[in-house]
Amino acid sequence: MYIKVIIRQLLCLCLCLGLPVCALAGDRDFVVVIDAGHGGKDPGAVGKRTKEKNVNLNVALALGRLIESNMEDTRVIYTRKTDTFVSLDRRAKIANDAKADLFISIHTNALPKGRIARGTETYTLGMARADENLEVAKRENSVILVEDNYKERYAGFNPNSSESYIMFEFMQDKYMEQSVSLAKGIQGQFKSYARRADKGVHQAGFLVLRATSMPSVLIELGYISTPDEETYLSSKKGVAALSQSIYNAFAAYKKTQCIASDTTLPEKKNEVKEPEQPSQDKKEKKAEQTSDRPVFKLQILTSSTKLPAGSSKLKGVKVGYYTENGLYKYTTGDTEDYNEILRVKSRLGTKFKDAFIVAFRKGQKINLQEAIRESKKK
């Protein structure tokens, strides 16, 4: 009790003197991952004079430099610092492996030829409630089409099909409050500091946000398809104003998060835990459940031969398996709750980077999107 009182008094003193409050935690730096969207063989949206991948990278690097120059207690990690291609799941894995406190993905918007729009908008993960937001998610997710083996890696997800996005109806982001708080701050700074048109904070189904295990936002800096916005986005003035706006919002967000963290003294987050093994009562309860409901599992490994019990390839995870096309396919995390299997995937992502979700009914594999739709109806 007395320790917490002393910490609060020290926090107040730090705030009055303008000192960094995160330093009181003493265990580690605040970690932010900055993700410059697209890159390499994926140009993103293309304007008349520039490409989205270049705009994104310029702002991402400028933002990182601001943080590194002004915040000694913050570690910046980039998903890319050059014109290279990085898959969407790899970007999320970089953040998860670093046990990051925040993930900021930077993008640039576009519209079909003949349509004009201006302004910035910031997204958090969720189900798009407007067609316009869904189209933004479709465009950003379409990068997976140039990735190798994308159908298996993203469990049959089709970025151009509206039906695929039904899965985001189930996603309950436990970091939503923090994500929305940062998104509102970013939009406020774009409006007040950079003097850009404010298109608001929205939710949509972005694959790059889906797999992250921390507060996360995706920023659309402006419309590269609108001539005057393209000029601004590719100018030194535009890059400086946009990066400074994001930095201002980040600094304000970080201060509030550090205060909350230091005063409540929570346990360390993001520790990888194995899926909880069901007790006998849980097993009996599971047996009593309706047998025709879809069951979701995480497929972690494929082998041409049956693995011995305790195989090192399974990394200590309790598994089952099914056979398909002469292969043994190992799974874990059997559940009728799609949100639960997403949590299992997040926990085990560092151990099995190519793991993906599959669905079964009465022991037979079924289409994942069909299973998600059916679960939603029930």
pLDDT, one tens digit per residue, over 168-192 is 655 545 688 899 999 999 999 999 9
**Which has more confidence, 186 or 29?**
186
Query: How much of the chain exceeds pLDDT 90, in percent?
Result: 42
CB 28 within 8 A of CB 99: no
Closest CA to 287 of 334, 323, 341: 334
pLDDT attached to residue 119: 96
End-to-end CA distance of the chain: 47
Q: How much is the pLDDT for 134?
A: 76
CB 124 within 8 A of CB 179: yes
Residue 94's pLDDT is: 93
**pLDDT reported for residue 113:** 87
pLDDT on residue 325? 81
- How many C-beta neighbours within 10 Å does residue 19 have? 13
pLDDT winner (highest mean) among 2-11, 37-46, 131-140, 155-164: 37-46
Letter for the amino acid at 303?
A: S
CA distance 361 to 370: 11
C-beta separation of 209 from 122 below 8 A: no
Alpha helices in 227-360 (DSSP H): 227-233, 236-264, 280-288, 338-348
Which amino acid makes up residue 343? R
Q: Are 292 and 278 in contact (CB under 8 A)?
A: no
Q: Compute CA distances 226 → 81, 108, 137, 222, whole Å.
A: 26, 11, 19, 9
Q: What pLDDT shows up at residue 8?
A: 53
- Range of lowest pLDDT (10-24, 110-124, 177-191, 230-244): 10-24
The pLDDT of residue 286: 47
- pLDDT at residue 277 tops 80: no
219 has which bridge partners? 106, 122
Place of tokens 């995706």: 218
Which has more confidence, 84 or 8?
84
Is residue 217 over pLDDT 70? Answer: yes
Whether residue 18 has pLDDT greater than 60: no
Comparison of pLDDT for 206 and 21, the residue scoring more: 206
Region of poorest pLDDT, from 156-170, 218-232, 247-261, 323-337: 156-170
Structural domains in the chain, sorted by start: 13-264 (3.40.630.40), 280-377 (3.30.70.1070)
Residue type, 305: T
- 166 has a pLDDT exceeding 70: no
- pLDDT of 34 > 90? The answer is yes
What is the structure's pLDDT at 273?
42
Q: Kindly tell me if the per-residue pLDDT of 362 is higher than 60.
A: yes
Is pLDDT larger for residue 131 or for residue 230? 230
Q: Which of 160-164, 189-193, 287-291 has the lowest mean pLDDT?
A: 287-291
Give the residue-averaged pLDDT of 225-254: 97
Q: What are phi and psi of 262, to 5 degrees?
A: -75, -30
Q: In what order do the strands lie in the sheet with 295-303?
A: 320-324, 327-335, 295-303, 356-361, 364-366
Asked if residue 170 lies in contact with residue 153, where contact means CB atoms within 8 angstroms, the answer is: no
Stretch 152-157: mean pLDDT, rounded?
72
Average pLDDT over residues 267-273: 40
Q: What is the mean pLDDT of residues 260-276?
A: 44
Look up the pTM and report it: 0.66
- pLDDT band with cut points at 50, 70 and 90 for residue 148: confident
Q: Which residues contact 327 (CB under 8 A, 6 or more apart)?
A: 302, 303, 304
Sign of the Cα torsion 128, 133, 37, 75 reads: negative
| Beta strand segments in 308-376, E | 320-324, 327-335, 356-361, 364-366
C-alpha dihedral, 9 to 15 to 18 to 19, nearest 10°: 50
What integer best gives the mean pLDDT of the chain?
81
Pairwise CA distance, residues 330 & 308, whole Å? 12
User: What is the mean predicted confidence (pLDDT) over 265-281?
Assistant: 42
Average pLDDT over residues 54-72: 97
What pLDDT, on a 0 to 100 scale, did the predictor assign at position 84?
A: 96
